[in-house]
A and B are shown apart, each in its own frame.
Chain A
Amino acid sequence: MNNNLLFDFTVDKENKTIYVKREFDGDLGLVWQAWTTPEMLDQWWAPQPYRNKTKSMDFREGGAWHYAMISPENETHWARFDYEKIATERSYSGLDAFCDEQGNINTDFSRMHWKNDFSEVAARTTVSITIVADTLETLEKIIAMGFREGFTMGMDQLDGLLTTLKMQAR
């Protein structure tokens, strides 16, 4: 765990906007790849103990990423991210939504608009995320979808993942 990396998290409740800014110890090419290719996204997108599974990925403007986050009890939460604008290794934006296995969007919940900006300084890449929700209920739903257990176990889980990754690297 690297604690020297910048991490900003601010919530503007009035404007239903979340700003997340995080620095990663990797060059722009690598970090961009980690955010935009299914093979890599599947390895980190779902917070432990959930695992991520991509059903389809079409990373281009008008395309979508259809994926599931699966709990240890095999409870599956489907989601899709529809890409709006993509500027390679600079930024991408789109709409995030809950859906079913066929990709039909669950209209009970409003979608969240994302814009992710990437910039590199001295082999470190900063990702700035702006998430705008229609309602605070949308944010609440994300928690209700089953993440709560995911982080109550918190850092212990992370240690486990770290060990796994280290073993894979051998």
Chain B
Amino acid sequence: MRRDIFQAIADPTRRAIITLIALQAMTPNAIAEHFDTSRQAVSKHLRILTECELVHKHHQGREIYYSLEIKRMKEIDKWLEQFRKIWETRFHQLDNLLTTIKKQKK
């Protein structure tokens, strides 16, 4: 099942995991050490992140390492850029309205 990228970052633990593995690839055990939650809970978060294609896992010997998919993170930035555009549009409309009103007043 493929999930929404925003679902991935909606959870504070998942955001913390993202921050951790952004610096270096880590094993689930190493990640779990940073949290009070169970190893199982961390595995669940990692599974969701993997399904969202936000993290990449690779095997090295007997260990699995998780690393961040930077490309996917950039999608979030792209989305925020759209949000910015809404405001631009809105503000230009207000500019026009203010101009119109000022002209009428004259």
Contacts and interface: CB of A to CB of B under 8 A. Distances in A.
Q: In terms of DSSP, what is the predominant structure of the interface of chain B?
A: helix
Interface in A17-52: 18, 20, 22, 24-26, 30-31, 34, 40, 43-48
Interface string B77-106: 001101111111111111111111111100
Interface stretch (A54-62, A95-103, A136-144): A136-144
Nearest to B6: A140
Interface string A127-146: 00000000111011011000
A25 B95 contact: yes
B17 to A, nearest CB: 14
B83 A158 contact: no
A56 B9 CA distance: 36
Contacts of B4: 140
A11 to B, nearest CB: 5
A169 B103 contact: yes
B102 to A, nearest CB: 7
B10 interface: yes
Contacts of B94: 24, 34, 44
A121 interface: no
A25 B93 contact: no
B79 to A, nearest CB: 7
A74 interface: no
B7 interface: yes
Contacts of B98: 24-26, 30-31, 34
Interface of A: 1-2, 5, 7, 9, 11, 13-14, 18, 20, 22, 24-26, 30-31, 34, 40, 43-48, 135-137, 139-140, 142-143, 147-148, 150-151, 154, 157-158, 161-162, 165-166, 168-169
Given A46-B90, A166-B100, 10 more contacts: A5-B95, A20-B87, A30-B102, A31-B98, A34-B94, A40-B97, A47-B93, A157-B89, A161-B93, A161-B96
24 contacts: A2-B95, A5-B95, A9-B87, A11-B80, A11-B83, A18-B83, A20-B87, A26-B101, A26-B102, A30-B98, A34-B94, A43-B93, A44-B97, A47-B93, A136-B6, A136-B9, A137-B7, A147-B82, A148-B82, A150-B86, A158-B92, A165-B97, A168-B100, A169-B100
